[in-house]
């Protein structure tokens, strides 16, 4: 099953939010602090592994994902990553929060950290890839039909097993499928692939082209 | 019947708790956090992107560079950083209307637009704009003329997209400084167009 985070094309979300001019970046002070803590502690775990952070977001239960909005989601994902690497014990945040609110609760002890033995080979997410790209702009491709892997994947469910045309070849990227779980950078070319809306959503879909950025291993030739 | 699970403390309280735990472990410095927050509140925002757009409207050679190599051309104006490793610029034309989304999370070109607004992070936008862009744009007050093609860009890798809006009629000959305030965040994501001061009305 696709995680909740993979929501492209999903029905049932209702009307969109109307834009408001001059919306501040953070609606409340805690949102800014959640943002800063998440970004700044990420490097303490895994060398700023953004894919691991996004995978933590995907692993949240629906309430943790949705209930407290975008920065609540960040806060919960940061907490999950800190628990994964045993920097914090499960329940430590809630216990501290209750103490700060004046409740007399016992706090768990800090565990012995077990951070992943993993460091990125350089800054950022772009890498040189050995050899030429397999596809070129204009090539007909089809995305893999294999079921969604148990772990991380950046192939959105709504384009799985669909035919499209390569719009552009992008630079090599770390492969999130392995990088997000600290199992290697495995850089691959990324391709922007354009899909006709009818291919994705059926013949009565609103006419449009939807371009999606996809890793080479998600694609096969469709000649 | 089982009891409902206990509610977690409010997010403001949990944020305070996490900060206190991390400070106790020496993993975070509140002063560094303050500085970081201030940067995104004051310096990194859509004004950066507006300057890029206004320059492109007034300098044809810059426009060409911007469309060919977005990241490098944007860096010429001093804008670079996290979530801006590879920026591609999409040009609105009389024939095509571009609109940008991130269906998997809320990826957004921070160096030129700052942090994403509520509507961009809303599940309704993420879920629907790939399936029914014209209807979504209409709901947001952006009517795309029938016959104009719509192209949706789902930011599912580290590529980030910036939309170059069309320059509004009646502003020909204006300099970049005068044009910059007309360029909105929403137009640079493709959910609005830039209107001329006279169109905007009182």
Tens-digit pLDDT profile for residues B156-168? 999 999 999 999 9
Give the distance from residue B94's alpha carbon to the nearest chain A alpha carbon, in angstroms.
16
* The pLDDT of residue B202: 42
What is the DSSP code (8-state) at residue B9? P
- Closest CB to A32: pick one of B13, B37, B149: B37
Q: Quick check: B152 and A70 CB within 8 A?
A: no
Q: What is the CATH number of the domain that holds B73?
A: 3.90.330.10
For position A1, what pLDDT does the model report? 67
Q: Is A130 helix (H, G, I), strand (E, B) or coil?
A: coil
Domain count within chain A: 2
**Between B119 and A123, residue with greater pLDDT:** B119
Closest CB from A11, A23, A173 relative to B157: A173
Does B141 contact chain A (CB < 8 Å)?
yes
The answer to whether residue B34 sits within a structural domain is: no
Which residue, among B158, B169, B61, B153, has the nearest Cα to B99 in the 3D structure? B153
Nearest to B127 among A9, A95, A97 (CB): A9
Contact B162, B188 (CB under 8 A): yes
| Domain enclosing residue B77, as ranges | 44-200
**Model confidence at B201, in pLDDT bands (50, 70, 90)?**
very low
* Interchain contact B43–A (C-beta under 8 A): no
Q: Is the CB of residue B156 less than 8 Å from the CB of residue A62?
A: no
Task: Check residue A122 and report its DSSP letter.
Answer: S
Instruction: Tell me what pLDDT residue B171 has.
Output: 96
Question: In terms of pLDDT, which residue wins out, B89 or A146?
Answer: B89
Boundary (domain end) residue, out of A96, A111, A126: A111
Residues A132-151 have a mean pLDDT of 94
Comparing A21-25, A73-77, A93-97, B44-48, the range with the smallest average pLDDT is: A21-25
Domain range holding A101?
Answer: 1-111
The answer to the question of residue A189 being in a domain is: yes
Q: How confident is the model at residue A41 (pLDDT cuts 50, 70, 90)?
A: confident
Do A3 and A102 belong to one domain? yes
CB contact (8 A) between residue A205 and residue B124: no
Mean pLDDT of the A68-80 span: 96
User: Best mutation site among A213, A214, A216, A219 for testing chain B: the one with the most B CBs within 10 Å?
Assistant: A213
User: Hey, which residues of B are catalytic here?
Assistant: 102, 105-107
pLDDT above 90: residue A171: yes
Q: Look at strands A140-143 and A163-173 and give their pairing.
A: antiparallel
User: For a pLDDT cut of 70, what percent of chain A falls above it?
Assistant: 99
Our count of domains for chain B comes to: 1
Residues 74-93 of B with CB under 8 A from A: 82, 85-86, 88
A108 in reach of chain B (CB within 8 A):
no
Q: Are residues A176 and A94 in the same domain?
A: no
| Angle (CA) B15 B16 B21, round 5° | 95
Nearest to B115 among A25, A72, A97 (CB): A25
B119 interfaces chain A, CB cutoff of 8 Å? yes
Q: How far apart are CA B159 and CA B143, in angstroms?
A: 27
Using CA atoms in the order A207, B188, A53, A125, what is the torsion angle rounded to 10 degrees? 100
Cα-based torsion angle of the residue sequence A95, A97, A98, A101 in order, rounded to the nearest 10 degrees: 160
- Any domain includes B128: yes
Q: Does B35 have pLDDT greater than 60? A: yes
Q: Which residue has the higher pLDDT, B202 or A116?
A: A116
Q: Decide if B77 is inside a domain.
A: yes
Backbone angles phi, psi at A32, to 5 degrees: -65, -40
Q: How confident is the model at residue B4 (pLDDT cuts 50, 70, 90)?
A: low
Interchain CB contact of B202 with A (< 8 Å): no
Say if A165 falls within a structural domain.
yes
Q: Considering the domain boundaries, does residue A202 fall inside one?
A: yes
Mutate which: A6, A13, A14, A17, vs B, most B CBs within 10 A: A17
Residue B30 domain-assigned (yes or no): no
Distances (CA, A) of A6 to A89, A132, A152, A208, B16: 29, 30, 11, 20, 30
pLDDT higher than threshold 60 for residue B137? yes
Q: Does B149 touch chain A (CB under 8 A)?
A: yes
User: What are the distances in angstroms from CA A80 to CA A56, A111, B17, B18, B57?
Assistant: 7, 14, 14, 12, 46
Instruction: Establish if A111 touches chain B: CB-CB under 8 angstroms.
Output: no
């Amino acid at each position: 099953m696709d995680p909740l985070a993979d929501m492209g094309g999903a029905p049932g979300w209702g009307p969109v939010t109307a834009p408001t001019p001059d919306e501040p970046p953070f609606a409340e002070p805690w949102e800014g602090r959640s943002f800063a803590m998440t970004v700044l502690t990420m490097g303490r775990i895994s060398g700023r592994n953004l894919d691991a952070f996004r995978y933590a977001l995907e692993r949240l239960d629906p309430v943790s994902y949705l209930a407290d909005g975008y920065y609540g989601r960040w806060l919960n994902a940061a907490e999950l990553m800190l628990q994964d690497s045993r920097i914090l014990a499960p329940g430590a945040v809630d216990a501290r929060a209750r103490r700060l609110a004046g409740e007399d609760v016992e706090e768990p002890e800090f565990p012995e950290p077990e951070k992943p033995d993993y460091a990125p080979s350089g800054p950022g997410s772009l890498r040189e890839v050995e050899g030429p790209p397999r596809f070129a702009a204009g090539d007909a491709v089809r995305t893999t039909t294999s079921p969604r892997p148990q772990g991380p994947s950046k192939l959105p469910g709504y384009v799985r097993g669909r035919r499209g045309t390569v719009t552009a070849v992008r630079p090599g990227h770390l492969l999130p499928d392995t990088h997000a779980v600290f199992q290697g950078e495995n850089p691959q070319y990324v391709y922007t692939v354009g899909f006709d809306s009818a291919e994705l959503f059926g013949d009565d879909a609103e006419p449009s082209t939807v371009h999606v950025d996809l890793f080479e291993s998600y694609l096969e030739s469709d000649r | 019947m089982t009891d409902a699970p206990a509610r977690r403390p409010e997010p403001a309280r949990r944020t305070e708790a996490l900060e206190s735990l991390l400070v106790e472990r020496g993993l975070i410095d509140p002063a560094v956090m303050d500085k970081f927050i201030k940067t995104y509140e004051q310096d990194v925002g859509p004004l950066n992107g507006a300057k890029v757009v206004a320059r492109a409207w007034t300098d044809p050679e810059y426009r060409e560079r911007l469309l060919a190599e977005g990241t490098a051309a944007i860096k010429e104006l001093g804008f670079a950083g996290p979530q801006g490793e590879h920026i591609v610029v999409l040009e609105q034309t009389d024939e095509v209307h571009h609109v940008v989304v991130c269906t998997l999370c809320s990826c957004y070109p921070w160096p030129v637009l700052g942090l994403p607004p509520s509507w961009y992070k809303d599940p309704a936008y993420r879920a629907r704009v790939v399936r029914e862009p014209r209807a979504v744009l209409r709901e947001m007050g952006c009517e795309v003329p029938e016959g104009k093609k719509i192209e949706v860009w789902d930011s599912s890798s580290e590529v980030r997209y910036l939309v170059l809006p069309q320059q509004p009629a009646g502003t020909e000959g204006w300099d970049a400084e005068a044009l910059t305030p007309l360029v909105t965040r929403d137009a640079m994501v493709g959910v609005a167009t830039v209107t001329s001061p006279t169109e905007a009305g009182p």
